[in-house]
Structure 1
Amino acid sequence: RALAEERGLAGSFDYCDIDTFDMSDPEAYAQYDWSLYGTVINCGAYTAVDRAETPEGRVTAWKANATGPALLARTCAGHGITLIHVSSDYVFDGTAEVHDEEEPLSPLSVYGQTKAAGDIAVAGCPRHYIMRSSWVIGEGRNFVKTMRGLSDRVADPEDKLTQVTVVDDQLGRLTFTRDMARAIFHVLGTHAPYGTYDCTGSGAVKSWADIARAVFEAANGNGEKVVPVSTADYYASAAGPVAPRPVHSALDLSKLEAVGFHMPDWEEELGEYLDALDLGGSF
Structure 2
Amino acid sequence: MTVLVFGGNGQVGRELLRALAPLGTVVATTRSGTLADGSACEVADFDRPDSLPALLDRLQPAVVVNAAAHTAVDRAEHEPEAAFRANAQAPGVLARWCAAHGVPLVHYSTDYVFDGQGGTPYREDAPTAPLGVYGTSKRDGEDAVRAAGGRHLIFRTAWVYAAHGGNFLRTMLRLGAERDQLRVVADQIGTPTPAGLIADVTAQALRHPGGLSGTWHLTASGQTSWHGFAEAIFAEAQAAGVLAKTPVVDAIASSDYPTPARRPAWSVLDNRRLQQDFGIVLPAWQDGLKRVMAEIAAT
TM-score normalised by L of structure 2: 0.84
Deviation (angstroms), 1:58: 1.3
Alignment equivalent of 1:49, drawn from 64, 73, 79: 73
Which position in structure 2 is the counterpart of 1:147?
Answer: 172
Secondary structure (helix, strand or coil) at the match of 2:27 reads coil
Q: Quick check: 1:178 aligned with 2:196?
A: yes
Q: Cα deviation per residue 1:8-37 (whole Å; 9 max; x = unaligned)?
A: 399522111123012443134223336832
Counterpart for residue 19 of structure 2:
6
State the partner residue of 2:231: 213
State the secondary structure of the residue aligned to 1:5: helix
Taking the aligned partners of 1:275 and 1:16, their CA distance within structure 2 comes to: 29
Matched residue, 2:275: 257
Contact persistence 2:187–2:225 (CA under 8 A): yes
The aligned counterpart of 1:91 is 113
Match status 1:270 vs 2:289: yes
- Letter paired with 1:263: L
> Per-residue deviation at 1:7?
3.0
Q: Which AA in structure 1 matches 2:178?
A: R
- In structure 2, how many angstroms separate the alpha carbons of the residues matched to 1:5 and 1:34? 23
User: Is residue 181 of structure 2 the alignment partner of residue 163 of structure 1?
Assistant: yes
Question: d(CA) in 2 for partners of 1:5 and 1:93?
Answer: 34
| Alpha-carbon distance change, 114 to 250 in structure 1, aligned in 2, over 3 angstroms | same
Are the equivalent residues in 2 in contact too, given 1:197–1:255 (CA < 8 A)? yes
Question: Alignment partner of 2:25: what SS?
Answer: coil
Q: Does 1:199 align with 2:218?
A: yes
User: What secondary structure, in the 3-state scheme, does the structure 2 residue paired with 1:214 have?
Assistant: helix
Number of the residue aligned with 1:120:
143
C-alpha distance in structure 2 between counterparts of 1:173 and 1:17, whole Å: 28
* C-alpha separation in 2, matches of 1:127 and 1:11: 19
- Contact 1:122–1:128 (Cα < 8 Å) also in 2: yes
The answer to whether the 8 Å contact 2:20/2:203 transfers is no
Give the distance between the partners of 2:205 and 2:92, measured in 1 at CA. 22
Could you list the per-position Cα deviations for residues 235-268 of structure 1 after superposition, in whole angstroms to 9, with x for gaps in the alignment?
A: 2xxxxx6101111101101111112011121111
CA gap of 1:35–1:145, structure 2 versus 1, over 3 A, is closer
2-side partners of 1:85 and 1:197: how far apart? 11
- Structure showing greater relative contact order (alpha-carbon pairs closer than 8 Å, 6 or more residues apart): 1
Correspondent of 1:80 among 102, 107, 117: 102
The whole-number CA distance in structure 1 between the counterparts of 2:74 and 2:18 is 30
Identity fraction in percent: 35
Shift of 1:77: 1.1
Which ranges in structure 2 are unaligned for 5 or more consecutive residues? Answer: 1-13, 33-42, 239-243
CA contact (8 A) 2:76 2:134 kept: yes
CA distance in 2, matches of 1:183, 1:219: 26
Q: Are the counterparts in 2 of residues 151 and 219 from structure 1 also a CA contact under 8 Å?
A: no
- How far did residue 126 of structure 1 move? 2.2
Partner of 1:37: 61
